[in-house]
Structure formats: C-alpha cells, structure tokens
Amino acid sequence: LEPFGQPRTADYFRSVGFVVVERPYGTRVYKEMFTIQDDNGQPFLEVRRNPASQLPEGIHLPEECHLRLTNYACYHDDAAQLLQEFIEHFGYTFNRITRVDICLDFEYFDYGDDPQSFLSRYLKHRYSKINQGNIHAHGADRWNGQEWNSLSWGAPSSDVGTKFYNKTMELFDPSSGSYKKPYIRYAWFRCGLIDDFVANTKLKDGEPYTPQIWRVEFSIRSSVKNWFVIELNGNAKAYQSIRNTLQSYMGRERLLTLFASLAQHYFHFKYFVEG
C-alpha cells in the first residue's frame, strides 16, 4: 500500500531524483506502470499502481500497488534487502509476496550426471517424480532422435511450480527475453561456470568450449500472506507451511537453504519399477 494520501507516481519518483521510464499503458489490474532505474542506468524496480477497480464500487483500495524487482536487480546478492529498504524508505506498507523465482544453475549434477541425459531417461519413464504429477515438455523431434531442453511440473493453481531447462539455449535464443543478458553470464563467471563471460566459454584441457548450463527453478506463487505450502512425500493430503517473507530471501545462505528444502520435495525422483 502507498502512504495514505501520498501517491507514489512516476512524477513523484522523478522529483526525488530517479530516472523513470513510463509505459504508455497499464495492465488489466493497474492503470499505470513504470520502471525506476538505478544509479547505473539499469532498470531496477517496476511499479504498477492506480487500480482500475477501486472501492467503494470496485474491489481494490486506491493505495494498492505492485512492486517488482527487475530480473537484472534479482541478480544482486542483496536483492531482497534492496527491496525491503525501498519499501521502508518510501513509506509503503508491505502486504504479501505474489511471486518469487528461486533457482540454481549447473553444468552437471553433483555426481557427474549429464542433465540432458537425465532428462531423456526421465521422459522414457526410467524414473518417477515425487509430487507434482502434471508435466509440460519442450524440445524438438529430428530424424536422428528427439532432443528435449525443458520440463515443467505443477498445476497453475499450485503454490509451487518447478522448471528444469537448458538456460544456455534460452540465453542465446533471439526470440527469448533472456537473449544475451550480460548479468546472467557474469553471475556464471563469478560462480566458475564459465571462464569468459563475454564469449560464454570455459576451458577444458586448455581449449575453450561452450558449456550447457542447466537450471532448476522453483516459482513460489502463494495467495496467503507470509506463507506458502509444500506437498510432502507424494501424499496429496500431507502439507507443510514455509515462511514466505522478504527476510526468507535475504542472503545466499538463506536462499540455498530454501532451495534445498524445495528440491527435497519438488526435484525428487525414484527409479520406476513396473508391477
């Protein structure tokens, strides 16, 4: 919620020194939408405000708004802290988190298994996944065989959705919104996934090659304030609530703990045995 009687418009943020880029149209819910840039001229925060349907005849308070960190901002180690400070500094009242994507990127699994091979074996039903039975697959069917590059699990209404996909392929697809985003490649460079973040290559035996970086990603989309629910051990009637606050995402240690908890439930497979 914006401070009562103090609308946080695009002009307001310009008046306090920000560079603001307005979109000429809003969304289905909000009439206004604009992006605030950081000190480096990069898009930092997206603001959606001025609800189309306002009380008393409508359903939203006039002060309701939606703040979203841009993808670029989410690659900062202190992304959640920056959002928290922005909310406090400009007098917003925090209500709830609508959606958070938390992910881990890698070239191989910990025991050396190739993600592409694992994906192929899974789609041949060598394994069964615990929790989230709905599957959506994407790939290509060629004369020399099928090649899969992404899978997603979970219903749209689920609190948690799971994705497993080839991020390198997406990153260099001109039709993708991720096309050559330098901050992603720089994050890979910092983590040692690549040695050259400009060419996106890594050295092996002294020769450069382009590693295929895969991503496991969980989308948390809870409608409940400060909590989201996870399924337990494939039992449709067994659930556990996990905190869903900005503090839960502050710092790499908390992110890794939360990712590991989600992976235990939503990236959990067992060998399939017939009969």
pLDDT in tens, 71-86: 999 999 899 999 999 9
What is the predicted pLDDT for the residue at 171?
87
pLDDT mean over 162-186: 83
pLDDT mean over 196-219: 94
Q: Are strands 207-209 and 202-204 parallel, antiparallel or unpaired?
A: antiparallel
pLDDT classification of 156: cutoffs 50, 70, 90: confident
pLDDT mean over 220-244: 82
Q: Is 244 exposed, middle or buried (0-12, 13-18, 19+ CB in 10 A)?
A: buried
pLDDT classification of 38: cutoffs 50, 70, 90: very high
Q: Are strands 160-166 and 214-220 parallel, antiparallel or unpaired?
A: antiparallel
pLDDT classification of 170: cutoffs 50, 70, 90: confident
pLDDT mean over 209-213: 95
pLDDT mean over 170-183: 74
For the cut 70, the answer to whether the pLDDT of residue 275 exceeds it is no
pLDDT mean over 102-107: 96
Q: Is 215 exposed, middle or buried (0-12, 13-18, 19+ CB in 10 A)?
A: buried
Lowest mean pLDDT among 130-134, 140-144, 159-163: 140-144
- Residues 267 and 259: their CA atoms lie apart, in Å, by 10
For the cut 90, the answer to whether the pLDDT of residue 131 exceeds it is no
* Percent of the chain whose predicted confidence (pLDDT) is above 70: 95
Q: What's the mean per-residue pLDDT of the chain? A: 91
- Residue of higher predicted confidence among 236 and 64: 64
Q: Is 25 exposed, middle or buried (0-12, 13-18, 19+ CB in 10 A)?
A: exposed
For the cut 80, the answer to whether the pLDDT of residue 176 exceeds it is no
Pair 54, 2: CB distance under 8 Å: no
Lowest mean pLDDT among 99-103, 175-179, 255-259: 175-179
pLDDT classification of 175: cutoffs 50, 70, 90: low
Among candidate residues 190, 192, 173, 7, the one with its CA nearest the CA of residue 108: 192
What is the predicted pLDDT for the residue at 222?
86
Write the DSSP string, 174-241: TTSTTTT-HHHHHHHHHHTS-SBTTTTBEEETTEEE----EEEEEEE--SSTTEEEEEETTEEEEEEE
For the cut 90, the answer to whether the pLDDT of residue 23 exceeds it is yes
For residue 173 the two structure tokens come to 């697809």
- Residues 160 and 230: their CA atoms lie apart, in Å, by 7
Q: Is 138 helix (H, G, I), strand (E, B) or coil?
A: strand
pLDDT classification of 134: cutoffs 50, 70, 90: confident
Element (H, E) at 118: helix 115-123
Which residue's entry shows tokens 């990153």?
171
Task: Name the residue ranges covered by the structural domains of the chain.
Answer: 10-95, 101-271
